[in-house]
Structure 1
Amino acid sequence: MKQGIHPDTQEVVFMDSATGAKFVAGSTIKSDETVDYEGQTYPLVRVEITSDSHPFYTGKQKFAQADGRIDKFNKKYGMNEK
């Protein structure tokens, strides 16, 4: 790797705004907020969705209907192809 072209990374606490879940990860993001987490002080970054609140990971995902709009219309109004 070339020296001096990569941004500095630091450990940051990401907090899910919906559930309050926190986790530590390396990041280049800067934050003015700090938080004490597991005995250390880290910069705090609030995020809207993490694996703790995302429907795919929580099992609350709604599956889209497999039929297209035209098929759905034909089923509803009884217009079958001949």
Structure 2
Amino acid sequence: MKKGIHPDYHPVVFQDSATGYKFLSGSTKNAKETIEWEDGKTYPLIRVEISCDSHPFYTGRQKFTQADGRVDRFNKKYGLTSK
């Protein structure tokens, strides 16, 4: 690897904003906030919107939408029934 062209890779704590789940991982991203981790050391804290703790694919709480046609959706929305 060439010297001086790669960003600094360091440990960072990521926190899921929705659930509060935290995990320690390596990253090149810098943060203004810090947090004390379970090992007693202080690490930069990066807040993320979604992680494996809140993502529907990993939690099994997926929403499946029906593949109704336009007419069926219109009828369902406005209370019309087919004869």
Same fold (TM over 0.5): yes
Deviating runs (4+, > 3 A) in structure 1? Answer: 67-73
- Aligned partners of 1:30, 1:16: CA distance in 2, in Å? 17
- Aligned partners of 1:30, 1:44: CA distance in 2, in Å? 9
- 1:28-74 Cα offsets, whole Å, 9 max, x none, are 11111110111211000111100000111110001233x4636957x
Instruction: Give the SS at the match of 2:24.
Output: strand
- Which position in structure 1 is the counterpart of 2:62? 61
RMSD: 2.4
Structure 1 counterpart of 2:5, which letter? I
- Is 1:17 the equivalent of 2:52? no
- Which position in structure 1 is the counterpart of 2:33? 33
Unaligned runs of 5+ in 1: none
Unaligned runs of 5+ in 2: none
Structure-to-structure mapping, 1:39-54, within 5 angstroms: 39=39, 40-54=41-55
Q: Number of residues paired by the alignment?
A: 78
